[in-house]
């Protein structure tokens, strides 16, 4: 893959993986992206997961022929990108690693060595001349690890963006970018919106025509939609008008109530997504809770608390800075309903939330009284 005149793709696809970071389902696999900048000096941008070290080194060798890399730029030390550093340094004993001071400390922890004799430490505003290309480095702490740097090549106006602008999915699978990028961003980077905003401000001063992330496709053409989405996500603003309903039901009564509410909203033309938290992709449910401007939490009471899937779901929201939404509550309890109180309590620290009334209370099964409450709640959510 030709990225620009002197920039080539040398990454790999992983179709063996089922869970990324041990928790995110990736039915279409993952891409571990790496790039080679071929100039008077050659820089390879990031390595790949250790299980694919041989394939990656083969790609580099095929691309470079008789030439050898002079530098390995390490932007991010998460093992899916740093896992093949040692293999690279063994294969190319004269190469130098270019990275941040914090990254070298992590290398010591990961590999037992920090390449003190073969390293170049760079920080904010640092540069590396390759010939026609001069790389400029920007610190991007907590996007989404503390050691992260991103790299800009002014000659071809290419941004090597580390994990920013990445997505789930291998590159040999065609799928919608926004949906998997949103699920990736909210799940992995979502807690660090302020840090992403800081990085976007730095990037605003650059003329970028191509974005090369460490996961997902190279972004070209009109970059405004990608930048707009990242600004929206990192500002915690709703992306779209719609209602996400998250339901934690034991014997089906709570789910019946959630389905009734969904039907009433859809009949009025609302976009509605309904998740059974015990069975769905939790990361997708969390992603859509951030995507839409209204959220309904429907849970059975369990041990005077919440059905565990709902507790997990709300924790994932609050951990990622959930705010600025309208939230509605539905609870079920055979003898002592507590779910609404607990759910509201878990959201106390979240900012700019508006609670729609009434909270729906179900006692065992949907009744005429609870149907009336569902009607009233639907009307409130439609305002």
Q: Is the predicted pLDDT of residue 132 greater than 90, yes or no?
A: yes
Alpha carbon 171 to chain centroid, angstroms: 17
- Residues 190-221 as b or e (16 or more Cβ within 10 Å = b): bebbebbebbbeebeeeebebbbbbbbbbbee
The answer to whether 344 and 329 have CB atoms below 8 angstroms apart is yes
Closest CA to 94 of 117, 122, 126, 62: 117
The answer to whether 230 and 196 have CB atoms below 8 angstroms apart is yes
Tell me, what's the pLDDT at 364? Answer: 86
Q: Is the pTM of this model over 0.85?
A: yes
Token digits for 369? 């009284």
Tell me, what's the pLDDT at 253? Answer: 94
Q: Is the predicted pLDDT of residue 185 greater than 90, yes or no?
A: yes
pLDDT digits (tens, 9 = 90+) for 196-230: 999 999 999 999 999 999 999 999 999 999 999 99
Domains of the chain, start order: 2-235 (3.60.15.10), 240-378 (3.40.50.360)
User: pLDDT class for 240, splitting at 50, 70, 90?
Assistant: very high
What DSSP character marks residue 52?
Answer: G
Percent of the chain with pLDDT over 70: 100
> In angstroms, rounded to a whole number, what is the distance separating the alpha carbons of residues 71 and 133?
13
| Residue 342, number of CB atoms within 10 A of its CB | 20
Q: Which helix (H) or strand (E) holds 342?
A: helix 339-346
Tell me, what's the pLDDT at 275? Answer: 98
pLDDT digits (tens, 9 = 90+) for 241-280: 999 999 999 999 999 999 999 999 999 999 999 999 999 9
Tell me, what's the pLDDT at 51? Answer: 97
pLDDT digits (tens, 9 = 90+) for 56-79: 999 999 999 999 999 999 999 999
Tell me, what's the pLDDT at 1? Answer: 78
Closest CA to 303 of 293, 315, 311, 295: 311
């Amino acid at each position: 893959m030709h990225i620009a005149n002197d920039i080539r793709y040398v990454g790999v696809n992983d179709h063996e993986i089922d869970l990324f970071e041990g928790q995110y389902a990736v039915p279409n696999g993952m891409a571990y992206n790496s790039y080679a900048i071929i100039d008077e000096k050659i820089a390879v941008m990031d390595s790949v997961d250790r299980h694919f070290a041989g394939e990656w080194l083969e790609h580099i060798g095929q691309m470079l022929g008789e030439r050898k890399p002079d530098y390995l730029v390490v932007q991010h030390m998460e093992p899916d990108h740093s896992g093949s550093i040692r293999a690279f340094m063994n294969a190319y004993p004269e190469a130098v690693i270019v990275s941040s001071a914090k990254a070298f400390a992590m290398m010591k922890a990961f590999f037992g060595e920090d390449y003190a004799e073969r390293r170049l430490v760079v920080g904010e505003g640092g540069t590396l001349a390759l010939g026609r290309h001069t790389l400029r480095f920007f610190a991007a702490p907590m996007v989404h690890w503390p050691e992260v740097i991103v790299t800009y090549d002014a000659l071809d106006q290419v941004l090597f963006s580390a994990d920013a602008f990445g997505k789930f999915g291998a590159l040999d699978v065609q799928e919608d970018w926004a949906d998997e990028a949103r699920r990736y961003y909210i799940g992995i980077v979502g807690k660090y919106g302020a840090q992403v905003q800081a990085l976007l401000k730095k990037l605003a001063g650059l003329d970028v025509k191509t974005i090369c992330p460490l996961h997902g496709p190279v972004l070209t053409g009109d970059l405004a939609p990608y930048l707009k989405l990242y600004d929206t996500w990192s500002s915690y603003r709703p992306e779209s008008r719609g209602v996400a309903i998250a339901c934690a039901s034991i014997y089906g009564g709570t789910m019946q109530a959630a389905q009734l509410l969904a039907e009433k909203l859809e009949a009025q033309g609302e976009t509605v997504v309904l998740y059974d938290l015990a069975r769905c992709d939790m990361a997708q449910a969390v992603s859509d809770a951030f995507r839409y401007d209204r959220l309904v939490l429907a849970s059975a009471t369990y041990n005077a608390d919440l059905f565990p899937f709902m507790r997990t779901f709300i924790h994932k929201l609050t951990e990622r800075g959930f705010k600025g939404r309208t939230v509605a509550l539905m609870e079920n309890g055979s003898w002592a309903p507590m779910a609404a109180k607990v759910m509201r309590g878990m959201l106390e620290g979240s900012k700019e939330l508006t609670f729609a009334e009434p909270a729906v209370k179900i006692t065992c099964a949907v009744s005429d009284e609870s149907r009336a409450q569902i009607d009233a709640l639907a009307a409130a959510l439609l305002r």
